[in-house]
Amino acid sequence: MQLKLTANNSSISTLDLSQPVVMGILNVTPDSFSDGGQYQAVDVAFEQAKKMVADGAKIIDIGGESTRPGASAVSLEEELARVIPIIRLIAAELDVVISIDTSKAQVMRQAIAAGAHIINDVRALQEEGALQAAADLAVPVCIMHMQGQPSTMQDAPAYQDVTAEVVSFLEQRIDDCVHAGIKREHIILDPGFGFGKTLEQNYQLLADTAVFHQFNLPVLIGVSRKSMIGNLLQCDESKRLAGSLACATAAATAGAQILRVHDVKETADVLAVVAQLAKHREE
């Protein structure tokens, strides 16, 4: 599977998804749940981006607004001030695909102009102007399922059948995107782990990862260091590596094409082992 990227003064034109790839998380925020405050300075963020690329990241996902449970909203001006300088620097200096993690149409437009290649939207292009912006920009977009909003999504998430309802939501959003002018082959799907789901619902979705391949579109799995690991293992963010890698192994084995993670080197090692095992199974 190949993801075609729109040329934006970049030498990168496609992303090979025939094997799972690592998307490294770079939050330039003060309040993200795991790494908030660590990479707010542009030079520090750039050094982290360089390390992630060296460790095997094929995509760097840059976020300027935390979407952790209970997170506060960030103004357009503040989000732009956080993300645009580091996007420009990475685009100029590193050979890597850049993703902008945002729900704001104007951030999408300015981030792509600054050198980003992909839009990653936890609100699935449902905010004002977002769907049109993505269509106008003609770049790949990741649409994610979320029940509720970050400020309240974990209060009491409820489903009759979590997998069926997430599939139904994504199916409708695919139709909405295509109707708006977004190429179907530009759509990436994210079930939205931790976004309005209980511990059991999260693990049901992870067990059902293969179900999302019915759309024949890339599937992104983001479970790194999340509470579905911490609550199960009764540990804080600093001690969730083993659980994160177990989830990554499960997702990759089930055919997920993109793994969004904090721990790039360790996840890249997992993917190398999974790929080697798959090769011998095919023989």
- pLDDT of res. 74: 85
Average pLDDT, the chain: 90
Q: Is the pLDDT of residue 227 over 70?
A: yes
Averaged over 235-253, what is the pLDDT? 95
Q: What is the rounded CA–CA span in Å between residue 12 and residue 271? A: 22
- pLDDT of res. 283: 64
3-state secondary structure the chain: CEEECCCCCCCCCEEECCCCEEEEEEECCCCCCCCCCCCCCHHHHHHHHHHHHHHCEEEEEEECCCCCCCCCCCCHHHHHHHHHHHHHHHHHHCCCEEEEECCCHHHHHHHHHHCCCEEEECCCCCCCCHHHHHHHHCCCEEEECCCCCCCCCCCCCCCCCHHHHHHHHHHHHHHHHHHHCCCHHHEEEECCCCCCCCHHHHHHHHHCHHHHHHHCCCEEECCCCCHHHHHHHCCCHHHCHHHHHHHHHHHHHCCCCEEEECCHHHHHHHHHHHHHHHHHHHC
In a domain, 283, yes or no: no
Where is average pLDDT lowest: 11-15, 83-87, 95-99, 109-113? 11-15
- Which residue is catalytic, options 260, 265, 279, 281? 260
In a domain, 146, yes or no: yes
- pLDDT of res. 9: 59
Averaged over 48-64, what is the pLDDT? 96
Over the stretch 196-221, which tens digit does the pLDDT of each residue have? 899 999 999 999 999 999 999 999 99
User: Do the strands 21-27 and 14-16 form a parallel or antiparallel pair, or are they unpaired?
Assistant: unpaired
- Which residue is catalytic, options 226, 239, 240, 265? 226
- How confident is residue 10, by pLDDT bands cut at 50, 70 and 90? low
Q: Is the pLDDT of residue 133 over 80?
A: yes
* Whether the Cβ atoms of residue 106 and residue 80 lie closer than 8 Å to each other: yes
Q: Which residue has the higher pLDDT, 38 or 34?
A: 38
Q: Is the pLDDT of residue 134 over 50?
A: yes
Q: Annotated catalytic, 123?
A: no
In a domain, 281, yes or no: no
Number of domains observed in the structure of the chain: 1
Over the stretch 162-201, which tens digit does the pLDDT of each residue have? 999 999 999 999 999 999 999 999 999 999 999 989 999 9
- How confident is residue 36, by pLDDT bands cut at 50, 70 and 90? very low
Q: What is the rounded CA–CA span in Å between residue 100 and residue 266? A: 23
pTM assigned to the model: 0.91
- pLDDT of res. 17: 96
In a domain, 47, yes or no: yes
- pLDDT of res. 157: 76
In a domain, 200, yes or no: yes
CATH number at residue 56: 3.20.20.20
Q: Annotated catalytic, 226?
A: yes
Expressed as residue numbers, the domain containing 158 is 2-275
In a domain, 14, yes or no: yes
Averaged over 115-124, what is the pLDDT? 96
- pLDDT of res. 7: 54
In a domain, 23, yes or no: yes
